[in-house]
Amino acid sequence: MPNFPENYPLEYRTGCVQFYWRNFIVTPDVLIPRLETECLVRKARETIHSLKSCTLIDIGTGSGIIPLSCSDILSIQEIICLDISSEALKVARENAESLQIHVPITFHISNLLESVLNSNIQLSDQPIVITANLPYIKNEDWKNMSVDTRFEPKIALFGGKVHGFELYEQLFLQLLELKKCTLQTITIIIEFGFDQNQIAKDILSQYPWDSEFFSDYSGIERFAQVDIK
């Protein structure tokens, strides 16, 4: 038996976790999925179902739980998984192979949408649905985190030194650039911290987009769907 440190997460000990009725591989290179993220998946699936066809882009893919949990929807023509961590993308690729995903799916090292904006990834001419559960914890804010969180990758936890929402601010600016490159609609669905609702609303109010906020299972409003037309 391996000698695990105290408070070492069970999911890392076993190497797997169940999320949205599927079993996923997890390693210390990726975050352990949280139950709340199922709410993002449900909204994404609802949005994708409403479209005849679309490209699904997942930013900050990690283990791949979000795009792979949507991959059975027939209107998805392709899935593009982006992450700044090559180690995380290896885990996501393993999960895609284990789950025998049949829709075309690719994995790319990318800082948010940079690979798309730099034309390293060519998008097909169809509506775009983007999902993103980016790091949103204020840098080194350990006092508000559980003890087992210290075993998870910092690059997937911390989102900035001011309020933790900085990566989303960068992403929104990139979305302005992406919209200049396509006539198709773009819908992005995001998850953020339990205490960042007003921050998200204030920042999104600066853009000419339609935003809808929704809650997790506990009634905490920590998700938003943004339509960019």
Q: Could you tell me the pTM of the whole model?
A: 0.95
Q: State the pLDDT confidence band at 227, using cuts at 50, 70 and 90.
A: very high
* Share of residues in the chain with pLDDT > 90 (%): 82
State how far the Cα of 68 lies from the Cα of 7, in Å rounded to an integer: 29
Walk across the sheet containing 186-191 and list its strands: 105-109, 76-83, 54-59, 128-132, 186-191, 221-228, 210-215
Residue 80 has pLDDT above 60, yes or no: yes
Give the residue extent of every domain in the chain.
10-228
Query: What is the per-residue pLDDT for 7?
Result: 86
Q: What confidence score (pLDDT) does residue 1 get?
A: 54
Q: Mean pLDDT lowest for which of 2-16, 22-36, 76-90? A: 2-16
- Domain 10-228 fold is Rossmann fold (3.40.50)
The 3-class SS string of 145-199 reads CCHHHHHCCHHHCEEECCCCCHHHHHHHHHHHHHHHCCCCCEEEEEECCCCCHHH
Q: CA–CA separation, 81 vs 93, rounded Å?
A: 9
